[in-house]
Amino acid sequence: MQKEIGFITGRCCIYSGKLITLCGGEGAGKSTQAKKIFDFFQSENIPCILTKEPGGTKIGLMIRKILLSPENSDIYNKTELLLYLADRAEHFHKVIVPGLQNGKIVICDRFIDSTFVYQGEARGMDIDFINYVHKYILGDFLPDLTLVLDCRPKSGLERVDRDLACGTRTEDESRFDSEKISFHEKIRAGFLKLAEKNENARFYLIDAEKTVDNVFESIKSAIIEKGIIQN
């Protein structure tokens, strides 16, 4: 069924696809699960796209490099926020909207909620400003389903260390990993708060400390429950 999503960057936009976003703290397993969702849809011949923020576009990859490099640990917090929002504008316009208009299920590893939690909750930046810029970039658009992958910061950071040791994660993207544990606790609390409020009934809380396969089973249930695909 086609849906109208109001005005995106000044134009009325009709689309038939759906957006699934994943969020959570460091090492929660989002990227692994995003790939599993993508592989599952592909095996079912469901048209889909796997993408991420920051870094889902050519320009976004350059922005990602600036944002995640430990060399930039002195970045000014307003610069950090504006770069995440710039990455989002580019990505939404060039990847998400075209994907949805082509009827695809877009699976996005991180989206608006990471800005609310990392920059808003943890860095204490102005939520009204974040909302204002999101409205400017996205209009009234919201994801159809947001999976909140919850785990204790200690378990997440241990997973990050294991990924670093086996090379599936690189040191040049480790700026946030080296934040204090109190920062990671704030991140966890921020995502749990969003899941609890469940505005627009789009959130689904997943216990990410279970095995990869068990987490994926919960995700599949959420996808069916929210009507993204039929059982």
Q: In the complex, which residues of this chain contact ligand TMP (CB under 6 A)?
A: 26, 52-54, 68, 84, 110, 114-115, 118-119, 176
17 vs 156, beta carbon nearer ligand TMP: 156
- Residue 62 or 229: which CB sits closer to ligand TMP? 62
Minimum CB distance to ligand TMP smaller for 40 or for 176: 176
Among 4, 10, 25, CA closest to 148: 25
Distance between CA atoms of residues 50 and 15, nearest Å: 18
Closest approach, Cβ 209 to ligand TMP, in A, equals: 18
The minimum distance between CB 93 and ligand TMP, in angstroms, equals 16
Task: State the nearest-atom distance from the C-beta of 185 to ligand TMP, in Å.
Answer: 15
What whole-number distance in Å separates Cα of residue 154 and Cα of residue 188?
A: 11
Shortest Cβ 126–ligand TMP spacing (Å): 14
Shortest distance (Å) from residue 228 CB to ligand TMP: 21
Q: Between 83 and 223, name the residue whose CB sits nearer to ligand TMP.
A: 83
* Cα separation values, 25 from 1, 148, 180, 208, Å: 34, 9, 13, 10
Point out the residue whose Cβ comes nearest to ligand TMP. 118
What distance in Å separates the CA atoms of residue 136 and residue 134, rounded to the nearest whole number?
5
Provide, rounded to whole angstroms, the least separation between the CB of residue 231 and ligand TMP: 30
Q: Which is nearer to ligand TMP, 129 or 229 (CB)?
A: 129
The smaller minimum CB distance to ligand TMP, of residues 178 and 221, is found at 178
* Two tokens, residue 151: 């785990």
* β 48-52/105-109 pair status: parallel
DSSP string, 11-56: EEEEE--EEEEEEESTTS-HHHHHHHHHHHHHHTT--EEEEESS-S
H-helix or E-strand spanning residue 172: none
Q: Are 20 and 223 in contact (CB under 8 A)?
A: yes
